[in-house]
């Protein structure tokens, strides 16, 4: 699977992320970027982006970085710090693999606004379920 197909598998061909509007915008070995544009459907009752959307964006982009070398993984655990609320802005995420072991992989994420303001950070652990890429 080439990089363009891999990005599509996390965006257009994934019902959950596609439904939220998450877009994978770049994938390189051990690195990925993505975004989600603000929409009423992803906001909470106060009009801010729901915290679960932050987590879903971070998990999706971390997963894209982890899957960039071809094996299949599932999220094992995560820790996330929320720094700033978001309203009426696109959220951006960058993820980098910090550790790639025989069966586990760890990636860190940074969520920002367009101006670079850091709004959240996450650390995600993944477990390898197959040496084959997801089709």
Q: What is the pLDDT along the chain (135 residues), one digit of tens a residue?
A: 566 777 777 667 788 888 999 999 999 999 999 999 999 999 999 999 999 999 999 999 999 999 999 899 999 999 999 999 999 999 999 999 999 999 999 999 999 999 999 999 999 999 999 988 776
Number of domains forming the structure of the chain = 1
- Both tokens assigned to 112: 């920002």
Task: Say which CATH number the domain at 121 has.
Answer: 3.10.129.10
Give the domain extent around 46: 3-130
What is the reported pLDDT for 2?
66
- d(CA 53, CA 45) in angstroms, rounded, equals 14
What is the pTM (predicted TM-score) of this model? 0.93
Q: Give the residue from 128, 74, 77, 80 showing the smallest Cα distance to 100.
A: 128
- ∠ CA 51-46-116, nearest 5°, is 55
pLDDT confidence of residue 108: 99
d(CA 101, CA 105): 6
Residue 22's pLDDT is: 95
Query: Does some domain include residue 42?
Result: yes
135 within domain boundaries: no
Q: Are 27 and 60 in contact (CB under 8 A)?
A: no
Please tell me the predicted confidence (pLDDT) of residue 3. 65
What local confidence, expressed as pLDDT, does residue 122 receive?
98
């Amino acid at each position: 699977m080439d990089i363009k197909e891999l990005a599509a598998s996390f965006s257009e061909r994934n019902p959950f992320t596609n439904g939220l509007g998450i877009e994978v915008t770049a994938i390189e070995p051990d690195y990925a970027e993505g975004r989600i544009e603000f929409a009423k459907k992803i906001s909470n009752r106060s009009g801010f982006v729901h915290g679960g959307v932050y987590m879903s964006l971070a998990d999706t982009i971390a997963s894209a970085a982890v899957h960039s070398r071809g094996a299949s993984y599932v999220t094992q655990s995560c820790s996330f710090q929320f720094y700033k609320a978001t309203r009426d802005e696109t959220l951006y995420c960058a993820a980098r693999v910090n550790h790639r072991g025989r069966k586990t992989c760890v990636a860190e994420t940074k969520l920002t606004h367009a101006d670079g303001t850091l709004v959240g950070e996450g650390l995600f652990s993944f477990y390898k379920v197959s040496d084959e890429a997801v089709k």
